Amino acid sequence: MFKVLQSFVVDLRDKMTGISLYGIVTDISRERNTAEITFALRIEDTTGAVWAKLHFVRSWSLGRLGLGHTVYISGLTCSVTKQKRLEVLWHENDVGASVINISCLPAMLNSSCLHKLSHLSDLSTQTSSTQICWVWMDQIEHCHVNTRLSHVLCGHFVDKTPSGILKCNFCHCNCNGEVVRTFHLKITLADESAKVFAWCTGQTASELLQISPDEFYELPEEEQIMYPSSLEHERFAVALVNCCYARTEQELDAVTWEITRALKCE
C-alpha cells in the first residue's frame, strides 16, 4: 500500500519514498543535453531548500509554474549518489506523484479557509508565501498591456528565432503549432494602505482586463491605448507572490510581484 510521508526539507534522508513537500519555488530550469524530459526544481520551506529532479514522460505537464509560487509536491523519493550527495527525484508516472500549484488555485480567492487577507503595506521583499489582497487598479496611465505568444504546455512566453522558429523560453524547445496568444500585463495595484507594481499573464491578466487576448489584439491601436482607462478603480481580489528570485527574461523587468490569480469583486 502506498503511504504518503509528509516531510520538511530538513527531514530528508537516503532511501525515503512517498515523500510530500510543501514550499516555495525559488528556481526552476530544464536540464539540457539529456534525452529525457527533466527539470530541476528548487523548493524551499521553513527548514531549508532542496533541488528535486522532475522526470516527465513526454513533455512538461504541470501548466504554468513560476518563481515564488507555492507548491505541494508528492511522490518524491530520496537517494544518495556515489558522490555522497542527497538526490531527490520525482517521476510523473509513479504512483502518488502529483504537483499542485497552490498559488494558482481558484479556491485561493474564494475559500476563506485557505487564506487570510493582507494589506499591500504588509508586503516586503522578505515575503515568501502567497498573499491575498483586495485591491483596485491605479495609475492607469502607467499601465503596460502587451500581447505575446505563449507555449500551450507550460504557459511561458515564446520568442521567434532569426530563422522564424518559435522557441519556448522555459522548455527550451521548438513549439510551432503549440502556442496561444496571451497577455503580458504590468499594472499598479492599490488599497487603502499602499501601492505596488505587479505583473501577470494568462487567465489572470484576462480577468483583470475583462477581455480576451485575441479580442484585445483585434482592437485598433488607439482603442488598445485607451482601453485600460475604463478599468480604473475596478476592485479585485488578487493572489500575489514575490517573484524576485527571477534571473531570466531581464529579471521580469525588475517587477517584484506577480499576480497569480484575480477575481473581480461584484
pLDDT(178) > 90: yes
At the fourth CATH level, which superfamily is domain 5-103?
Answer: Nucleic acid-binding proteins (2.40.50.140)
Average pLDDT across the chain, whole number? 90
Model's pTM, two decimal places? 0.91
The yes-or-no verdict on residue 252 having pLDDT over 50 is: no
Q: Across the strands, what pairs with 88?
A: 52, 78
Q: How confident is the model at residue 232 (pLDDT cuts 50, 70, 90)?
A: confident
Strands 86-91 and 48-56: parallel
Spatial CA neighbour of 200 closest among 35, 69, 49: 69
Asked whether this chain's domains 5-103 and 107-264 adopt the same fold, the reply is yes
pLDDT value at position 126?
Answer: 80
Report the CATH number of the 107-264 domain.
2.40.50.140
Domain boundaries, the chain: 5-103, 107-264
Confidence of residue 35 (pLDDT cuts 50, 70, 90): confident
User: Cell match 474564494: residue?
Assistant: 110
Mean pLDDT of 157-178: 93
C-alpha cell at 194: 499602499
Nearest to 105 by CA among 71, 56, 139, 54: 71
